[in-house]
Amino acid sequence: MKSSRSYPYWFILPSGLIYLVLFLVPTVTAFWFSLTQWDLFETRFIGLENYSQFFQEPFLITGAVNTVVFGAVTSIAKSILGLLLAVLLTSGLLGQSFLRTLIFFPVLVSTVGIGIAFTEIMHPARGMINVGLSYLGIHGPAWLIDPHLALFSVALVDVWKGVGLATLIYIAGLATISSDYYEAARIDGATKLQMFFRITVPLVRPATVTVVTLSLISGLRSFDLIWAMTKGGPGFSSDVLASVIYKQYQAGFYGLSTAGNIILFVLVALIVVPLTYWFNRREVDL
Partner 1 sequence: MASVKLKNIHKEFNGVKILKGIDLDVNDGEFCVFVGPSGCGKSTLLRIISGLDDASSGEIEIADKDVTHADPIDRGIAMVFQSYALYPHLTVRDNIGFGLSLAKRPKNEINERVNTAAKMLQLEALLDRKPKDLSGGQRQRVAIGRAIVRNPEVFLFDEPLSNLDAALRSKMRLELTELHAELNATMIYVTHDQIEAMTMADKIVVLNAGHVEQVGTPMELYHHPKTPFVAGFIGSPKMNLFEGQTAQEHGADIYGIRPEHLTLSTQTGKWQGVIKHIEHLGADVIVHIQVQALGTLVARADGDFAVTTGSEIYATPQQGREHFLSK
Partner 2 sequence: MKDLVKKLTVIAFAFSAVSAASAVELSILIDNNPDTVALTQALTLAYSKKHPDVKFEMELRPGGAEGDNIVKTRLATGEMADVFIYNSGSLLQALRPSRTLEPINDIANFSNILSSFTSTVSDKKGNVYAVPAQTAMGGGILYNKRLYKELGLKVPMTWKEFMANCAIIAAKSKAAPIAQTYRDSWTSQLIVLADYYNVQSEQPNFADDYTNNKAKFATTPSALRGFEKLQQVSEAGYFNDYYGAATYNDGLNMVATGKAAHYPMLTFAIPAININTPDQINDVGFFAQPGDDASKNGLTVWMPNAFYLPKEGDHKDIAKDFLSYVATVDACNTITNAIGANGPYLIKGCTLPDNVFPAVKDMLPYFQVEGRTAPALEFLSPIKGPMLEQLTVEVGSSIRTAKSAAELYDQDVEKQAKQLNLPNW
Partner 3 sequence: MKRQQVIIGIVALVLGVLLFATPFMFIGITAVKSAAEASHLGLSLPSKWLFWENFMAVIKARNYMLLLAYFNSTVITVGAISLLAVSAAMIGYVIQRRPSKWNGFIYALILAGLMIPPAVVPTIWLLKELHLFKTLHGMILIQVAYGLSFSVLLFRSFIASIPRDLDEAAIIDGAKPWQVFFKVILPLLKPITITVVLVQSVTIFNDFTNPLYYLPGKDNVTVQLTLYNFQSQFSSQMNLLFMNILLVTIPPLIMFIFFNKQIVKGMTAGAVKG
Collapsed DSSP state (helix, strand, coil) of residue 38: strand
- Of residues 75-104, those binding partner 2 (CB under 8 A): none
Q: Measured from the CB atom, is 19 or 55 closer to partner 3?
A: 19
* Residue partners of 177: CB distance under 8 A and separation at least 6: 199, 200, 203, 204
**Is the CB of residue 213 less than 8 Å from the CB of residue 276?**
yes
CA atoms of 55 and 47, how far apart (whole Å): 15
Side-chain-side CA neighbours of 190 within 13 Å: the count stands at: 16
* Position 175 contacts partner 3 (CB under 8 A): yes
Q: Measured from the CB atom, is 38 or 148 closer to partner 3?
A: 38
- Tell me the CA end-to-end span of the chain in Å, nearest whole number: 30
- Of residues 48-77, those binding partner 2 (CB under 8 A): 53, 58
CA atoms of 220 and 269, how far apart (whole Å): 10
Angle between helices 150-175 and 60-88 (to 10 degrees): 40
**Is the CB of residue 133 less than 8 Å from the CB of residue 140?**
yes
Q: Measured from the CB atom, is 154 or 168 closer to partner 3?
A: 168
- Of residues 170-189, those binding partner 2 (CB under 8 A): none
Binding mask 1-20 for partner 1 (x = CB under 8 A): xx--x---------------
CA atoms of 186 and 194, how far apart (whole Å): 10
Q: Which of 164, 232, 240, 259 binds partner 2 (CB under 8 A)?
A: 232
Q: Which of 48, 93, 184, 201 binds partner 3 (CB under 8 A)?
A: 93
Q: Which of 44, 48, 55, 120 binds partner 3 (CB under 8 A)?
A: 120
Using alpha carbons only, what angle is made at residue 198 by residues 192 and 204, rounded to the nearest 5 degrees?
Answer: 100
Q: Which one of partner 1, partner 2, partner 3, none interacts with residue 124, CB within 5 to 8 A by kind?
A: partner 2
* Position 274 contacts partner 3 (CB under 8 A): no
* Position 268 contacts partner 3 (CB under 8 A): yes
The minimum distance between CB 153 and partner 2, in angstroms, equals 11
Contacts with partner 2 by CB under 8 A lie at: 37, 39-42, 44, 53, 58, 119, 123-125, 142, 144-147, 231-237, 247-253, 256
Residues in the site for partner 1, rule: CB under 8 A?
1-2, 5
